[in-house]
Amino acid sequence: MTGNCKIPYGISSFTRLREEGYYYVDKTAYIHTLELCGPFLFFVRPRRFGKSLFISMLESYYDVAAKDRFQALFGDLDIGREPTENASRYQVLTMDFSQVNRGADRTLQERFERYIGDCLDAFMFRYGDKYDEDFRRAFAAADAASKFTKLVTYARTKGYPLYLFIDEYDNFTNAMLRAEGNDSYEAITHGQGFYREWFKAFKGNFDRIFMTGVSPVTMDDLTSGFNIASNISQDMACNAMIGFSEAEVLKMYTDFKGTGLYAKGEPCDWVRAIKPWYDGYCFAEEKRGKESVFNSDMSLYFLQALVKTGKPPKNWVDRNIATDYAKLQVIADIQRRIDPERAEEILPPTETLAADGEIAFPLVESFSADQIQNPDNFLSLFYYYGIVSMKERRRGADWFHIPNVCVKRQVFDYLRLHYTHTRSPNWQEWARLASAFAYDGEWRPFLERLAADFADTNPVRGGIQGEHRIQGYMQAEFGHLDFYDLAPEMELARGFCDFCLFPERHRFGDVTHSYHVELKHSAKDASDAELAAKYEEGVAQLARYRADKSVPSLAHGTTLHQIVFQFKGSELVCLEQIAEEIL
């Protein structure tokens, strides 16, 4: 048990977390790792992984003004038992560029420099006793650029070591790129652009710098102005530096057992239940298949529900994170702003990803905004935004996969929105048919509805893209059946069933019908013989799947329906139940 410890969901201040009795997953041992990596570091991760809390922890550790609180903050942590020689050594300047967009009463440059000025004023308030009165008076009257010059000059003269932390370095530039396009973006990041000039000013004036963001795009555009930061984002030693390892999640769930209403269920069983939903991230090639990372915010969200109510949250995807994870639309908007004629190029790889659950591409570590249209760069944004994560090296290619159910839902949401943007589906009717599908075994009306809706989407392309489109569409629709654990391409009897729909027992234990749906697609000019061969192939596959020994336990007492769902182009040509059996 944790005693009076509180769950740190949404807490990004390390001092508040420690002083107000919040639980802390100890990441301080990584300080040793960072100091070995060098003095100027750059680190990217998807949002909602705990980067801000990590920076806050580093700030507290290195802050000379917090030296008298070092033992209270770090004494019982890994780094407190073996501190480095740099502990409590620096005057620390911290900036969070996600705050720059607040307020629209001035130009972006004015808002940015006002924010820099506010950060410098906060710095002087904290360390003012180290600076003489005349300096402080001149400092207070100066603009942001002059404040900065005066500060670094005085600190250098006095021998004060300085540490700069920048959180969300690319937040407002990404927002600009999405909303205004490449011209406005280039105006501030190229030539004499103010953002580029500020990074030139940062260079060489700090003893240490640590920056975080989501993607390396903006940093590449600033390279000539700031070319000494080491990108440690894919360093194997930093793979689990942000987020939680499975061992950390298990320990936390074990520590909270018996707190509040969290009394039932073994911690290992809860971790096993949330693993498909929140785990699956890997950020280092050497760790592929060996070490994965849980999304920390989602792990805390679920635990908070257990403690408050004694049961899982009704919705396993936190609404705040679900909104934040609308990343495919962000990428599409950026692409549209940069090159409107290529705005739809996000769709084919997204359909491939939805259909196959994986995609291969060479990960590009650095590229500028005007190179986003390059397919490899474009797909690399899928990785940086957390839509895919490292999976394996196979047949000479690097493969990436959708890390978990939460992200899979975002992929399905994007596809569903794209497929239906030209019409107004009756979602209440869809929900009624879906309920009858799960509880009454009325499969035909629901599947016929899906087929009719698919026929109303954009014209189907031929070949493999056409197959991926229908697979992607059906994935998006089946993915919104909350009643089921959707297992596309599940391996059964040495084959892969297109759609295995088995009840999601934690939330819908009363579902009475399960499904094997074998999707068959042929080109719109396919012959009757070709269609017949596809049908027979589907029947044979379903028979093999049913013989797999794992099926009865997966179906868990429900009635299993095995169905061939066959299309010619966008036309439904066969919808037939091959077998029905209570298991």
Domain ranges of the chain: 26-238, 246-317, 325-421, 436-583
* pLDDT tens digit sequence for 52-69: 999 999 999 999 999 999
Which pLDDT band holds residue 96 (cuts at 50, 70, 90)? Answer: very high
Give the pLDDT mean for 42-54: 93
Give the pLDDT confidence score for residue 463 in this predicted structure.
Answer: 40
Q: What's the confidence (pLDDT) of residue 339?
A: 61
Rounded to two decimals, what is the model's pTM? Answer: 0.85
Angle, CA 559 vertex, CA 553 and CA 562 arms, to 5° = 95
| C-beta of residue 404 within 8 angstroms of C-beta of residue 280 | yes
3-state secondary structure of 198: helix
| CB 132, CB 124: distance < 8 Å | no
- Mean pLDDT (the chain) is 87
Q: Are 240 and 212 spatial neighbours (Cβ–Cβ below 8 Å)?
A: no
> For residue range 309-346, what is the model confidence (pLDDT) as tens digits?
999 998 888 877 665 556 666 666 665 665 666 555 66
Q: Produce one character per residue of 566-576: b if its CB has 16 or more CB atoms within 10 Å, e if not.
A: bbbbbebbbbe
Contact in structure between 582 and 559 (CB atoms under 8 Å) = yes
User: Does pLDDT of 458 surpass 90?
Assistant: no
Check residues 375 and 205 and name the one with the higher pLDDT.
Answer: 205
Q: Is the pLDDT of residue 462 over 70?
A: no
Q: Average pLDDT in the 351-358 region?
A: 80
Which residue did the predictor score with more confidence, 478 or 575? 575
pLDDT of residue 461: 46
Mean pLDDT of 80-86: 97
| Position 513 pLDDT exceeds 60 | yes
Q: Please say if the pLDDT value at position 453 is more than 90.
A: no
Q: Which residue has the higher pLDDT, 527 or 420?
A: 527
Out of 3.30.565, 3.40.50, 3.30.70, 1.10.287, which CATH number does the structure's domain 26-238 have? Answer: 3.40.50
Overall average pLDDT of the 423-446 stretch: 90
First vs last C-alpha separation in the chain: 40
Write out 80-94 in H/E/C secondary structure.
Answer: HHCCCCCCCCEEEEE
Band (248; pLDDT cuts 50, 70, 90): very high
Assign 3-class secondary structure to 534-569.
Answer: HHHHHHHHHHHHHCCCCHHHHHCCCEEEEEEEEEEC
Question: What pLDDT is attached to residue 179?
Answer: 67
Could you read off the pLDDT of 174-233 as tens digits, one per residue?
A: 777 766 767 778 888 888 888 888 988 888 899 999 999 988 887 777 755 456 678 999
